[in-house]
């Protein structure tokens, strides 16, 4: 697991999960399954912006980019290649 991916998993697990006792699978769709709520999504976006020093354009604030750790990591990979 990359350092970036580990940071995302650690943050979501420790700060956002509705039921952290269940753990977090990085492939799991955390939004669709209700593992995090709508307020947590905004906290997640803020964390990503701060932790990785990026600006996320409004048009990128879509569920597909933040639905799982996989999706977040893929989004950040695309962002780095620009």
6-52 pLDDT tens trace: 999 999 999 999 888 888 999 999 988 889 988 899 999 999 999 99
Core vs surface per residue 52-64: b (16+ CB within 10 A) or e: eeeebeeeeeeee
Q: Which two tokens stand for residue 54?
A: 């990026």
Q: Which domains does the chain have, with CATH numbers?
A: 3-80 (1.10.1200.10)
- CB atoms near residue 30 (< 10 Å): 24
Give the global pTM.
0.89
Q: What is the pLDDT of residue 28?
A: 93
pLDDT at 81 over 70: no
Q: DSSP state, 22?
A: G
Q: Which two tokens stand for residue 40?
A: 């947590």
Rounded CA separation 80/41 (Å): 21
């Amino acid at each position: 697991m990359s350092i970036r991916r580990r940071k995302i998993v650690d943050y979501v697990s420790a700060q956002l999960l509705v039921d952290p006792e269940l753990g977090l699978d990085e492939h799991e769709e955390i939004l669709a399954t209700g593992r995090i709520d709508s307020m947590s999504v905004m906290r997640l976006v803020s964390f990503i912006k701060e932790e990785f020093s990026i600006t996320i354009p409004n048009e990128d604030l879509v569920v597909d980019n933040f639905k799982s750790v996989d999706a977040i990591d893929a989004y950040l990979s695309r962002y780095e290649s620009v």
